[in-house]
Amino acid sequence: MNKAALTTAILAIMASGYASAATVYKDDTSELKIGGRAEARFNISDNNESASDSSFNDKSRARLNVVGKSQISDSLYGFGKYEAEFDTDSSISNRYAFAGLGTQFGEFSYGKQDSAQVMLTDITDTMATFGADAADIVAGNKDKRNNNFLYAGKFDAFTVEANYLANDEKDADSYGIAGMYSFDFGLDLGLGYVAQTNGNDDDSQINIAAQYSIADFTVGGLYALGSVADEDVNAFEVSAKYKLDKLTFIAVYNYQEFEKADDANVDNFAVEAVYKFNGNLRTYAGYKFEQVDNKDDQIQAGIRYDF
């Protein structure tokens, strides 16, 4: 494995979404970057209405992240990341907080971080507004998991990740493994498996993902087959993205159904347009068409500044 290439890739992943993050300290062995975003956005839907609330809901937020790396020797380095999110109600949530060691065989880290399956679910989690509603059948499949031991390695065109979630609750641990192979002609294929204990039940999920890119067009799909409390669950997500200069159009479809249910748990289609003025500023608007009873369509729009 090329250590320099792995280091570059990991730093890019940790700082993803913050292309303009500033390097506040750098010497021969250490580097520290600070970045984030300010995002003013709103949602309009009958889902927001109550006896006291209207259909308009402010969803503005800001994020701040700190990413660091320190070279210990030619074959060993340390890294860490912290990210917080702030909303307009003065609430603060810790999105990521992890640290670890990188070697020529891959990275080993612990803390609040993504599960191994996220590199697969990101294929269809492509919108600034909606999407990614169906993929997580079991909790161990999700991003931003606490008590997460993670291994990540990249070997030429093959990327593999494995994680173990040591849950604070008794008999609720989870583990998973995922791999993805990237072909030279724009095709990515991925496969993942998650298993977790849920009291007396042993829940599980299998993920199959594929993505193909040609020129400015990208299409991706994810199929998930799960078992929750001995009930089968089927889910799939599809994403299509087309970039036209500074304007990007995205469409996604999400579906999830439990075997014994009369109707789908998730069934929606969403479209979105994103306009990037430059590397820092973008604006977007999306519309979600709900096809599940007791759920209404949604409009969401915003403007985002990355720093």
Chain-centroid distance of CA 210 in Å reads 16
Pick 29 or 4 by higher pLDDT: 29
Dist CA 33 CA 264 (whole Å): 44
* Residue-level pLDDT at 39: 98
* Residue-level pLDDT at 11: 46
* Residue-level pLDDT at 3: 47
Q: Alpha carbon of 184 to those of 188, 217, 239: distances in Å?
A: 9, 16, 21
Q: Residue 60 pLDDT more than 60?
A: yes
**What residue numbers bound the domain in which 54 lies?**
3-306
Domain count, the chain: 1
Q: Quick one: average pLDDT of 221-247? A: 97
Could you read off the pLDDT of 92-138 as tens digits, one per residue?
999 999 999 999 999 999 999 999 999 999 999 999 999 999 999 99
Could you read off the pLDDT of 249-288 as tens digits, one per residue?
999 999 999 999 888 999 999 999 999 999 999 999 999 9
Q: Residue 6 pLDDT more than 60?
A: no
* Residue-level pLDDT at 20: 67
Could you read off the pLDDT of 65-94 as tens digits, one per residue?
999 999 999 999 999 999 999 999 889 999
SS3 sequence of 273-296: EEEECCCCEEEEEEEEEECCCCCC
pLDDT band at 4 (very low <50, low <70, confident <90, very high): very low
Mean pLDDT, the chain, rounded, equals: 93
- Percent of the chain at pLDDT > 90 equals 87
Q: Find out whether 138 and 228 touch, Cβ atoms under 8 Å.
A: yes
CATH of residue 68's domain is 2.40.160.10
* Residue-level pLDDT at 169: 83
Tokens of 153: 């390695």
- Percent of the chain at pLDDT > 70 equals 93
Q: Quick one: average pLDDT of 213-221? A: 97
Q: Residue 12 pLDDT more than 50?
A: no
Dist CA 59 CA 89 (whole Å): 10
Q: Residue 19 pLDDT more than 70?
A: no
Q: Residue 1 pLDDT more than 60?
A: no
